Amino acid sequence: MDNLQLIKNLAIKNEKKIVMIVIDGLGGAPSYEKKFNTELEVANIPNLDNLARESLCGLAIPVDYGITPGSGPAHLALFGYDPVKYLIGRGVLEVLGLGMQMTKNDVAFRGNFATIDENGVITDRRAGRIPTQKTVELCNLLSEKIKKINDTEILLKPGKGHRFAGIFRGEELSDSITENDPHKEGNKPHKILPIDPEDKHALHTSKIVEEFISQATELLKPYKPANYILLRGFSKYPDIPRMQEVYKFTPVAIAVYPMYKGLAQIVGMEVVDGCENIYDEINKLKELYSKPYDFYYVHIKDTDVLGEDGNFDAKVKKLEEIDKLIPEILSLNPDLLIITGDHSTPSVVKGHSWHPVPVAIYSKDIPTVKNNVNRFTEEEFSRGILGTIYSTKILPLAMAYTMKLDKYGA
């Protein structure tokens, strides 16, 4: 019996509401330039500090010790799903988040517009972070000029900034293919290949994708810095239990970026639209709080973006901006509030990392008299009563403290 089956057998439906605030890339790592402090240690975040003093605090491991997670696995873990067993491709998440519909034969993917030089070297994986409107223009161009390759239909949809997503729709397609993204500037893109050279469907699919990239590159030549596309996250629609079945939740998701909406949709959450920034998201939370939901997932993206950019000071400022919204969340008087991140994105690393993520579980019904945490920081949380736990254990703990789990056994 895996943990989800155990939870499913014990889950109890009641009126108590759980709010999970996910500050993407929340955790940091000591920076030499900042006197070995992290962003949380430098930030002036009095509301989060006060909350930490009254919460169960600790550090969370998204996948396993030393493993750097992608956003998909990290979020699945937060929702209580084993991220190794339930691996969902990023392409599916992006496609669903953008409102595209998939069939069982489709292969979804996510893409970036990028910059390639005359020597075939990627000089900017994000094409200078071109604005969304430019991505709309370029996706329209590619959609108009490349409708099909052989008998495979190409469907594209722009996302935020330089990002887009798409679907290869045809027969006998496989998602068991490699990606062309080298993941670092200064390298040439990889060739799309079948993971197993003997897999006929994967070989067929890889040739179609290579031809699409070739045609797109030719069309994009005049549009530097967005003169190339990087494709990754090839995936088919997964088979995964829904939160309603496992937890007996009535869940809702509030997010800006498509990928997180897609993930929420896969695990059964109702996804609301109309949010463009964190202020919209908190207003939407307040608006929906009187509705008959009992699990609210709110995703805040900006901290992750700034960490990936290596912008320590800007990430500090964003944390301070988020801190000012904490009283508005607490004014809802949630039965239980979780504040954590999906993974760490230290500015010093300029990307996701394996560092444990701070997690605070707050409820007015949880006594924290012996709490020895005074600040909302990684070092302070390492002394918290929760200790270091796997991210998959956060939601069962939240259910226990809201009386949503029955006793196990006689």
Query: Residue 33: what pLDDT?
Result: 85
Query: Domain for residue 407, yes or no?
Result: no
Tabulate helix, strand, coil % of the chain (nearest 5).
35, 20, 45
Any idea what the Cα angle at residue 132 is, between residues 127 and 135, rounded to 5°? 60
- C-alpha–C-alpha distance, residues 93 and 253, integer Å: 14
Per residue in 328-381, pLDDT (tens digit) is 999 999 999 999 999 999 999 999 999 999 999 999 888 766 678 999 999 999
Does 220 share its domain with 120?
A: yes
Question: How many CA atoms lie less than 13 Å away from 184 in the CB half-sphere?
Answer: 5
Q: Do 71 and 101 share a structural domain?
A: no
- Beta strand pairing call for 56-61 and 357-362: antiparallel
Compute the average pLDDT of residues 111-123: 96
| The total number of structural domains that make up the chain | 2
Residue 385 and residue 245 share a domain: yes
**Which pLDDT band holds residue 410 (cuts at 50, 70, 90)?**
confident
Q: Which of 183, 208, 235 is the last residue of a domain?
A: 235
Boundary-marking domain end, from 235, 257, 274: 235
Residues 57 and 101 in one domain: no
Type of residue numbered 9:
N
**Pair 279, 205 in one domain:** no
Same domain? For 394 and 247 the reply is: yes
Same domain, 199 and 255: no
Dump pLDDT digits (tens) for 208-241: 999 999 999 999 999 999 999 999 999 998 889 9
pLDDT of residue 1: 47
pLDDT recorded at residue 89: 82
Q: Where are the alpha helices (DSSP H) in 172-325?
A: 200-220, 243-247, 258-266, 278-288, 302-308, 312-323
SS3 88: coil
Q: What is the pLDDT of residue 26?
A: 97
Whether residues 123 and 222 share a domain: the answer is yes
Residue 406 lies in a domain: no
Residue 408 placed within a domain: no
* Residue that is last in its domain, among 235, 267, 286: 235
Query: What is the identity of the amino acid at 155?
Result: L
Residues 193 and 73 in one domain: no
13 part of a folded domain:
yes
The CATH number of the domain holding residue 135 is: 3.30.70
Q: Is 127 left (phi over 0), alpha (psi -120 to 50) or beta?
A: left
Residue 323 neighbours by CB under 8 Å, 6+ apart: 43, 44, 45, 46, 47, 48
Q: Pick the more confident residue, 242 or 90.
A: 242
Q: Tell me: the pLDDT tens digits for 120-158?
A: 999 999 999 999 999 999 999 999 999 999 999 999 999
The string of pLDDT tens digits covering residues 19-60 is 999 999 999 999 888 889 999 999 999 999 999 999 999 999
- Express each pLDDT in 246-300 by its tens digit: 999 999 999 998 889 989 999 999 999 899 999 999 999 999 999 999 999 999 9
Residue 122 lies in a domain: yes
Q: Are residues 384 and 291 in the same domain?
A: yes
Note whether 119 and 214 are same-domain residues: yes
Query: In a 3-state reduction of DSSP, which class is residue 11?
Result: strand
Mean pLDDT for the chain overall: 95
Mean pLDDT of all residues in 305-324:
97
CATH for 353: 3.40.720.10
- Which residues constitute the domain of residue 363? 3-86+240-401
Which helix (H) or strand (E) element contains residue 187?
none
| 154-203: pLDDT as tens digits | 999 999 899 999 999 999 999 999 999 999 999 999 999 999 999 999 99
Q: Are residues 225 and 274 in the same domain?
A: no
Q: Is the pLDDT of residue 118 over 80?
A: yes
